[in-house]
Amino acid sequence: MSRSMVKQDFPVSNIRHFLEPGPVVLVSSKWQQQANIMTMGWHMVMSFSPSLLACVIDAGNYSHALVRNSGECVINIPSATLVDKVVGIGNCSGSEVDKFQAFELTADKASKVGAPLINECHASFECRLHDDAMIKQYNLFIFEVVKAHVTASADEESSLHYRGMGEFMLSGRSIDRASLFTSSMLV
Amino acid sequence: MSRSMVKQDFPVSNIRHFLEPGPVVLVSSKWQQQANIMTMGWHMVMSFSPSLLACVIDAGNYSHALVRNSGECVINIPSATLVDKVVGIGNCSGSEVDKFQAFELTADKASKVGAPLINECHASFECRLHDDAMIKQYNLFIFEVVKAHVTASADEESSLHYRGMGEFMLSGRSIDRASLFTSSMLV
């Protein structure tokens, strides 16, 4: 049973808190009334301000054209409780399946992009395509995160980290080493 | 006390097993007799074959010039037991500190690049610069992994995943969902 997630504004310059640990994400997109979701593990933070991230969306994915043509997407972070949906979404194509319907996920309206937020995820980052220069050669998209939404209890959610071959690493406990940092390094 | 790590060859096309979960890595480099180590969290897998990965090495880092001028580096994965060294390495500059000496780490000879492997890490990936087109604008390096070394017990090591502000998430247990994958999707 999925939970409905109420999210709050979150500073776009600090999305590293959720993305830098490397979770599997769900990318939602929409173009010309066609919405889709894909499962993605190949992404990285690139810059705090502007808030840039890079990711690979293979041209074989139905989402590739939706994201490229609309110049937008939403990067959503699913809790580990959604693992079976995450796998299912990754193993079928938006050309054949309405994934919001098939996986019983709720499309919430975003504030700055046309692509929908996935309500059941605990963090959703609205993205605009910032640089398309490497798409043709590497399927590499560079996005700017223009709005971030995070639930109040997001830090308590477990995340999924893919290893290939059907194996997921779950996030573990956190440790604090702030006392070892010089203040200028503490970002 | 650091352990000496005996590593074996590992298929370069499968480094996602270790990198896709998003661990903090130590980048070792060498140019004109100057070796250095930096702590890095912004990286992603880009392709299986060739085995490509992308990462951001800010121009303010001493390693930036070493990696760019040599066109090489080694991406090493430290176990969570090395967290205090990982923080220390990230909080000082190779322009002032010999980090191998200061952090009591052992430089092993690589087989295909001039940069050293860090013996105390459980996985080391020798990298050659594959594409420098995005370095100037984004400090974005695209590497090909040309040789991979992994200890026999690497899957039992805990990894570090950075959240910013001195906080690290530790890797947790693994779960197997291979039974939910179609065979063609199981890579």
Q: Render pLDDT for B139-159 as a digit per residue (tens, 0 to 9).
A: 999 999 999 999 999 999 999
* Helix (H) / strand (E) containing A45: strand A43-47
| Segments of chain A scoring below 50 in pLDDT | 1
Q: Where are the beta strands (DSSP E) in A63-136?
A: 72-77, 107-108, 117-118, 123-131
Q: Which residues of B touch A41 (CB under 8 A)?
A: 16, 20, 45
Closest C-alpha to A169, from B15, B40, B23: B23
Give the model's confidence band at B183: pLDDT under 50 very low, under 70 low, under 90 confident, else very high.
Answer: confident
Q: What token pair was written down for A176?
A: 């604090």
Q: Which fold has domain B7-185?
A: Pnp Oxidase; Chain A (2.30.110)
How close, in Å, is residue B9 to chain A by CA atoms? 18
pLDDT, mean of residues B74-87: 98
pLDDT, mean of residues B106-120: 98
Residue B184 pLDDT: 77
Residue B24 has pLDDT above 60, yes or no: yes
Cβ within 8 Å, pair B164-A187? yes
Residue A60 pLDDT: 95
Cβ within 8 Å, pair B20-A181? no
pLDDT per position as a tens digit, A93-121: 999 999 999 999 999 999 999 999 999 99
Q: What token pair was written down for A78?
A: 């699913």
* Helix (H) / strand (E) containing A69: helix A62-70
Give the model's confidence band at B2: pLDDT under 50 very low, under 70 low, under 90 confident, else very high.
Answer: low
Nearest to A177 among B17, B168, B181 (CB): B168
- Strand, coil or helix: A102: helix
Cβ within 8 Å, pair A44-B52? no
Cβ within 8 Å, pair B90-A185? yes
Closest C-alpha to A175, from B77, B116, B24, B21: B24
pLDDT per position as a tens digit, B84-99: 999 999 999 999 999 9
> What are the CA-CA distances from residue B81 to residues B85, B108, B116 (Å)?
9, 20, 21
Cβ within 8 Å, pair B22-A17? no
Q: Which residues of A touch B41 (CB under 8 A)?
A: 16, 20, 45
Q: Which residues of B touch A17 (CB under 8 A)?
A: 163-165
Nearest to A166 among B166, B168, B181 (CB): B181
- In chain A, the percentage of residues whose pLDDT exceeds 70 is 98
Whether chain A has a CB inside 8 Å of the CB on B97: the answer is no
Give the model's confidence band at B104: pLDDT under 50 very low, under 70 low, under 90 confident, else very high.
Answer: very high
Residue B128 CA, distance from chain mean position:
13
Alpha helices (H) in chain B, listed in sequence order = 16-19, 62-70, 83-90, 99-102, 135-138
Residue B1 has pLDDT above 60, yes or no: no
Residue B118 pLDDT: 98
Q: Which residues contact A146 (CB under 8 A, 6 or more apart)?
A: A12, A51, A112, A113, A126, A127, A128
Degrees to nearest 5, angle at CA A80 with A75 and A81: 110
Determine contact, residues B114/B74, Cβ cutoff 8 Å.
no
Nearest to B178 among A42, A165, A175 (CB): A165
Cis ω before A21 (30° cut-off from 0): no
Residue A3 pLDDT: 66
Cβ within 8 Å, pair B172-A170? yes
Nearest to A42 among B46, B90, B177 (CB): B46
Q: What token pair was written down for B17?
A: 């097993």
Cα gap A126→A147, rounded to integer Å = 5
Cβ within 8 Å, pair B84-A164? no
How close, in Å, is residue B87 to chain A by CA atoms? 7
Cα gap B33→B36, rounded to integer Å = 10
Cα gap B175→A81, rounded to integer Å = 12
Q: Mutate which of B103, B134, B136 to test chain A, going by most A C-beta atoms within 10 A?
A: B134
> What are the CA-CA distances from residue B37 to residues A4, A124, B121 (Å)?
45, 34, 12
Q: What token pair was written down for B75?
A: 């991406």
**Chain A, window 33-92: residues with a beta carbon less than 8 angstroms from a chain B beta carbon:** 41-47, 52, 54-56, 83-84, 87-88, 90-91
Q: Mutate which of A44, A51, A75, A155 to test chain B, going by most B C-beta atoms within 10 A?
A: A44
CA closest to B139 among chain A residues:
A46
